[in-house]
C-alpha cells in the first residue's frame, strides 16, 4: 500500500484543494483510495460526534466508505489544548491515530493523509504534522504558494522540522502562481529548489473562483440573517466595498462579484446598488449581494423592492468595520455542493501536477 502526507507551509496555501485534486487523480490510477486527516481544527457535528470539515467533505465528494470517525480521530475542540497541557498523554493520542489509520488503510491501494498547516502545527499537544507523519511512517509533500523567495524560504524551514523527526520530504507543489508571472516563476522556482535537492511535482496557476466565497458561505460564517435573494445565494464574491460614500461615487465601484457592506440606515446607497443590478447593466454596475450592518433595518418598502430584484441581502447587528474584517479574514473552504469548484480543482491538479511521478517515488 502506498501513502503520502500532505502538509503546507502555512494556512490557506491550498492544502485541501491539492489533496482533493490528488485523490481524484490517483483514483483514476488506483481505484481503491483512502483518506485520513489525523488532526482537525475546524469541525462539524455529525451523528453527535465532532469531525473535521475536510474529512466530511472528502468522504462525501469521493464516496469513500468506512467510518467517518476513523478519517478524523482527533478534533481539536474548544478547551482541548488546555486540557492536554494540564493532564494529557501523548501515547493516548498516538494510539488513537494509529488505530484509526489501521482501519482506514484496510484493503486500500493508496491512502492520502492530510495534515493541518505547517510542520510544527500541533506541537503544543505533541502531535505536530512532523510527529504524525513519523508516527504513520509516511513521506511528505509540502504545498506552498507562488513566488520565489517566500516559498523557497518557507519550504526549507518546514523541511528542517521534518528532517529533525527523520521524515522524508518527497517533494513540493507550488500553488496560486499569478498567471502573468507563471512562466517566469515556474522555471525559477524549479531551479531554485533543485539547488536545494527538492523536487517540484507541480506549479499551479492562481484560479480566482477557488478563492472566492459564495454569499451562502459568507452568511454561514458571519451568522447573518438572510432577508431576501435565496435564488442568488450561490453567487461568488470577488471583492467587497464599504458603503460609506455617496451613491453616485459607489456606482463606480460596483460590478459583477462585488459585495456591498453598508449600515441598514443607508437606504440611498442600497437604492444605488439596486438600480445598478437591473438588466444588462448588472455586470458593470450591479452587486453580488448586500450585507446590512447595525441595528437599523431598511423600510419595508425598500426590502420589498430588493426582493423583486432578487439580490441576496444579509442582515447582521455588528458594526460595518467588524463585519468587513471578518469577511476579509474568511478562509474559503470548498463544500460538497460546490461542484464547479471541485471540477476546477481536479482539472488543475490533473493538468499541472505529475501524479505518476509521485506514485513512482512512493
Tell me phi and psi for residue 174, to 5 degrees: -100, 125
Confidence category of residue 304, pLDDT binned at 50, 70, 90:
confident
Please give the pLDDT value at position 205.
94
- What's the mean pLDDT in 154-173? 96
Question: Rounded to an integer, what distance in angstroms lies between the CA atom of residue 276 and that of residue 285?
Answer: 5
Q: Using an 8 Å Cβ cutoff, are 11 and 18 in contact?
A: no
Task: Tell me the C-alpha to C-alpha distance, in Å, between residue 261 and each of 40, 55, 241.
Answer: 32, 33, 6
DSSP-derived 3-state class of residue 26: helix
Per-residue pLDDT tens over the stretch 84-123: 999 999 999 999 999 999 999 999 999 999 998 888 999 9
Backbone angles phi, psi at 265, to 5 degrees: -80, -15
Mean pLDDT across 303-307: 79
E strand segments, 186-326: 200-205, 225-228, 239-242, 258-263, 289-293, 313-315
What the block records as the C-alpha cell of 35 is 483518506
What are the φ and ψ backbone dihedral angles of 298, each rounded to 5 degrees? -55, 160
Residue with cell 491501494: 109
- Supply φ then ψ for residue 30, to 5 degrees: -135, 100
| pLDDT tens profile 47-70 | 777 888 899 999 999 999 888 889
Looking at residue 283, its pLDDT comes to: 65
pTM for the full model? 0.82
Between these two residues, 25 and 288, which has the higher pLDDT value? 25
Q: Would you state the pLDDT for residue 281?
A: 65
User: Of 313 and 332, which is predicted with more confidence?
Assistant: 313
pLDDT beyond 90 at 193:
yes
Amino acid at each position: 500500500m502506498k501513502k503520502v502526507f500532505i502538509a503546507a507551509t502555512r494556512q490557506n496555501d491550498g492544502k485541501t484543494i491539492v489533496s482533493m485534486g490528488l485523490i481524484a487523480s490517483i483514483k483514476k490510477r488506483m481505484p481503491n483510495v483512502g483518506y485520513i486527516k489525523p488532526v482537525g481544527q475546524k469541525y462539524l457535528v455529525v451523528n453527535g460526534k465532532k469531525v473535521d470539515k475536510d474529512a466530511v467533505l472528502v468522504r462525501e465528494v469521493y464516496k469513500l466508505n468506512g467510518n467517518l470517525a476513523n478519517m478524523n480521530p482527533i478534533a481539536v475542540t474548544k478547551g482541548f489544548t488546555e486540557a492536554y497541557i494540564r493532564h494529557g498523554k501523548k501515547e493516548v493520542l498516538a494510539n488513537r491515530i494509529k488505530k484509526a489509520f489501521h482501519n482506514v488503510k484496510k484493503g486500500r491501494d493508496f491512502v492520502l493523509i492530510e495534515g493541518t498547516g505547517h510542520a510544527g502545527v500541533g506541537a503544543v499537544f505533541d502531535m505536530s504534522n512532523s510527529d504524525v507523519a513519523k508516527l504513520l511512517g509516511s513521506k511528505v509533500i509540502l504545498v506552498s504558494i507562488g513566488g520565489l523567495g517566500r516559498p523557497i524560504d518557507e519550504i526549507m524551514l518546514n523541511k528542517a522540522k521534518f528532517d529533525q523527526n527523520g521524515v522524508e520530504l518527497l517533494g513540493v507543489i507550488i500553488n496560486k502562481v499569478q498567471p502573468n508571472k507563471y512562466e517566469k516563476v515556474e522555471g525559477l522556482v524549479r531551479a531554485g529548489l533543485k539547488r536545494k535537492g527538492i523536487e517540484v511535482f507541480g506549479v499551479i496557476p492562481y484560479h480566482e473562483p477557488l478563492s472566492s466565497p459564495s454569499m451562502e458561505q459568507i452568511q454561514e460564517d458571519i451568522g447573518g440573517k438572510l432577508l431576501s435573494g435565496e435564488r442568488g445565494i450561490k453567487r461568488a464574491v470577488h471583492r467587497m466595498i464599504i458603503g460609506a460614500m455617496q451613491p453616485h461615487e459607489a456606482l463606480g465601484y460596483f460590478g459583477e462579484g462585488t459585495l456591498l457592506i453598508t449600515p441598514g440606515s443607508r437606504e440611498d446607497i442600497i437604492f444605488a446598488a439596486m438600480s445598478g443590478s437591473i438588466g444588462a447593466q448588472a455586470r458593470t454596475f450591479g452587486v453580488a449581494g448586500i450585507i446590512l450592518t447595525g441595528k437599523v433595518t431598511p423600510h419595508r418598502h425598500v426590502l420589498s423592492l430588493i426582493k423583486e430584484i432578487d439580490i441576496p441581502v444579509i442582515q447582521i447587528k455588528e458594526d460595518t468595520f467588524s463585519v468587513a474584517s471578518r469577511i476579509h479574514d474568511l478562509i474559503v473552504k470548498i463544500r460538497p455542493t460546490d461542484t464547479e469548484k471541485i471540477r476546477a480543482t481536479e482539472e488543475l491538479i490533473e493538468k499541472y501536477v505529475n501524479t505518476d511521478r509521485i506514485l513512482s517515488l512512493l
